């Protein structure tokens, strides 16, 4: 796997560590309850992951490029771990873990009609779009009243998804047909 993709996965692991770390030793610095911003952010990320996992699941049987299949599998595995971490946080905060269904993801519908290299390119475009949305949500949340733990998650989403997008763009460029200059 290319170094940038590995960096993205490593940053995703930091996401998990930021959410699962030990609380600070000084009880005065620990916020026992989540803020409304914490809960909204984590629940929003869970909804994002539900949509993205549905799209990534299509790669199991439809992706033809080895690198596309590999990054989709690794991203799905990491996002399942992140879902588990965020669900655990919500439980710890005594918040509901069920995320209401949102609008159907149009990417999954669009991808269902594609095959071969067209599917691979479409999947990469969908992954990039999903990541850009998640980064925007994370950056917006960082401007709010997040606890230290939720702030760590938001920062990890921002850096991890941005790094992954660099790798996805590189793969997309490789799979895109060369455009010749007009004569």
CATH code at 157?
1.20.1260.10
Q: CA torsion, points 8, 80, 116, 4, in degrees to nearest 10? A: 10
Is residue 43 in a domain?
yes
For helices 148-175 and 116-142, what crossing angle results, to 10°?
Answer: 150
Model pLDDT, residue 151: 94
d(CA 45, CA 50): 9
Is residue 55 in a domain?
yes
Q: What is the pLDDT along the chain (183 residues), one digit of tens a residue?
A: 555 444 444 445 445 444 444 444 333 334 457 899 999 999 999 988 988 998 999 999 999 999 999 999 999 999 999 999 999 999 999 999 988 766 666 777 889 889 999 999 999 999 999 999 999 999 999 999 999 999 999 999 999 999 999 999 999 999 988 655 555
Is residue 158 in a domain?
yes
Please give the C-alpha separations between residue 127 and each of 95, 124, 173, in angstroms, as whole numbers. Answer: 29, 5, 14
Is residue 64 in a domain?
yes
The contacts of residue 46 (CB under 8 Å, 6+ apart) are: 83, 86, 87, 90, 97, 99
In which domain, by residue range, is 142 found? 35-97+104-175
Measure CA of the first residue to CA of the last residue in the chain; give whole Å.
Answer: 38
Is residue 22 in a domain?
no
Model pLDDT, residue 33: 73
Is residue 10 in a domain?
no
Is residue 2 in a domain?
no
Is residue 183 in a domain?
no
Domain count, the chain: 1
Query: Which two structure tokens, joined as six digits, stand for 160?
Result: 């991890």
Model pLDDT, residue 69: 96
d(CA 33, CA 89): 10
The contacts of residue 104 (CB under 8 Å, 6+ apart) are: none
Query: Which two structure tokens, joined as six digits, stand for 14?
Result: 């930091």
For helices 116-142 and 66-92, what crossing angle results, to 10°?
Answer: 30
Please give the C-alpha separations between residue 166 and each of 72, 86, 116, 131, 162, in angstroms, as whole numbers. Answer: 14, 25, 23, 11, 7
Model pLDDT, residue 177: 80
Query: Which two structure tokens, joined as six digits, stand for 181?
Result: 């200059």
Model pLDDT, residue 17: 43
CB-based burial label for 124 (10 Å; 0-12, 13-18, 19+): buried
């Amino acid at each position: 796997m290319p170094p940038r993709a590995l960096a993205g996965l490593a940053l995703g692991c930091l996401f998990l560590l930021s959410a699962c770390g030990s609380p600070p030793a000084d009880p005065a610095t620990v916020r026992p309850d989540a803020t409304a911003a914490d809960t909204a952010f984590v629940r929003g990320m869970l909804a994002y992951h539900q949509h993205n996992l549905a799209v990534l699941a299509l790669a199991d049987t439809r992706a033809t490029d080895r690198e596309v299949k590999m990054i989709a599998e690794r991203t799905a595995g990491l996002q399942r771990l992140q879902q588990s971490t965020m669900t655990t946080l919500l439980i710890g905060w005594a918040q509901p873990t069920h995320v209401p269904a949102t609008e159907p993801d149009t990417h999954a519908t669009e991808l269902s009609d594609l095959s071969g290299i067209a599917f691979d390119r479409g999947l990469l475009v969908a992954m990039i779009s999903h990541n850009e949305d998640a980064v925007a949500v994370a950056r917006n949340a960082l401007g709010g009243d997040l606890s230290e733990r939720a702030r760590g998650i938001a920062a990890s989403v921002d850096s991890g998804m941005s790094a992954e997008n660099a790798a996805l763009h590189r793969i997309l460029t490789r799979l895109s047909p060369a455009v010749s200059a007009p004569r």
